[in-house]
A = this chain, B = another copy of it.
Amino acid sequence: MSVTTLHRPTHRDALSALSAAFERGDMVTVFGRCTVEYDGRAASSLGRGDRLLILKPDGTALVHTDEQRTPVNWQPPGSEHRAAVRDGRLRVRSERENPDERLDVRFEQVHQVSALPVTGGRTVDVYGSEEDLRQRILDDPDLVEPGFQPEATERETAAGPVDVFGHDSEGRPVVVELKRRRVGPDAAGQLGRYVEALEREFPDGVEARGVLVAPSVTDRARELLAEKGLAFVAVDPPAATANGPDGEASAASEGEDG
């Protein structure tokens, strides 16, 4: 069976639909005028307005307005959704423990309820992440510097795992920290911690070197690198491939000034 939709249902009918959808493990959308309360790691209150509530069978809850990529309120996976009618109004509560937090959506009016049985793939392959950059370095270590010899990835140190560890042409240990995008002061600090941790592993007098590999670096980060005696190597950012044109009939919506 496919999607079930109720148009302007009564609050009780909306509850029945939610109940059945929960039972089937469907994904649910509720569009309606509501208020939202959250309490847990922080607390928040959202006044009356039209929002889209999404309830996933894995326990995720999302409340979206007509703006922003980030939901205005949410509950992470693993929460337990409950729906009820109180004082004649639909209420949805999503709750979890550890941390203890709950989301309450109280509907004044339910414009639409839909139950969506979902099948098919959920995992997406992403290219151009840090792991791809690592592979580029391993394939051609000279990108770091001539004569660089990579020996391990994710090598453990007291300060945490190092992206790439190896030795330079003169036999000195080298720590390589990879970033897929322009880096700020935090990355310089991270690399510095790794280098310090490594030097403590070796006998006194052995100096470890640190190399930050990224598309570019901010001024402040460059200063920090210089202070700590760390190197920076620029690499091309992951490239965006061009794509084809549009179709026959079309419609457009512009986000900025449309």
List B contacts of A249 (CB < 8 A).
12, 15, 84-85
A126: min CB distance to chain B, Å? 4
Is A147 at the interface (CB under 8 A from chain B)?
A: no
A205: min CB distance to chain B, Å? 20
Give the residue of B27, B39, B58, B125 whose beta carbon is less than 8 angstroms from that of A241.
Answer: B39
Residue of B nearest to A126 (CB): B44
Using known A-B contacts A54-B52, A159-B220, A251-B82, determine if residue A111 contacts B2 with beta carbons closer than 8 Å.
yes
Is A199 at the interface (CB under 8 A from chain B)?
A: no
Is A224 at the interface (CB under 8 A from chain B)?
A: yes
B118 near A65: Cβ-Cβ < 8 Å: yes
**Docked pose: A238 CA to B96 CA in angstroms:** 17
Stretch at the interface among A28-36, A137-145, A161-169, A206-214: A28-36
A128 near B243: Cβ-Cβ < 8 Å: no
Is A229 at the interface (CB under 8 A from chain B)?
A: no
B62 near A69: Cβ-Cβ < 8 Å: yes
B64 near A54: Cβ-Cβ < 8 Å: yes
Interface string of A115-136 (1 = CB under 8 A from B): 0111111101111110000000
B39 near A243: Cβ-Cβ < 8 Å: yes
Is A146 at the interface (CB under 8 A from chain B)?
A: no
List B contacts of A160 (CB < 8 A).
185, 220
A243 near B80: Cβ-Cβ < 8 Å: no
B112 near A3: Cβ-Cβ < 8 Å: yes
A228: min CB distance to chain B, Å? 11
Q: How many copies does the complex hold?
A: 2
List B contacts of A112 (CB < 8 A).
3, 5, 114, 116
**Docked pose: A48 CA to B46 CA in angstroms:** 36
A79 near B111: Cβ-Cβ < 8 Å: no
**Docked pose: A193 CA to B59 CA in angstroms:** 41
A27: min CB distance to chain B, Å? 5
B241 near A122: Cβ-Cβ < 8 Å: no
Interface residues of A in 202-258 (CB under 8 A from B): 220, 224, 238, 240-241, 243, 246-256, 258
Stretch at the interface among A98-106, A148-156, A171-179: A98-106
What are 19 A-B contacts defined by CB distance under 8 Å? A3-B31, A12-B249, A27-B66, A31-B116, A39-B241, A42-B180, A43-B238, A49-B119, A56-B66, A62-B64, A72-B122, A72-B124, A78-B256, A82-B246, A82-B252, A84-B250, A91-B246, A159-B185, A159-B220
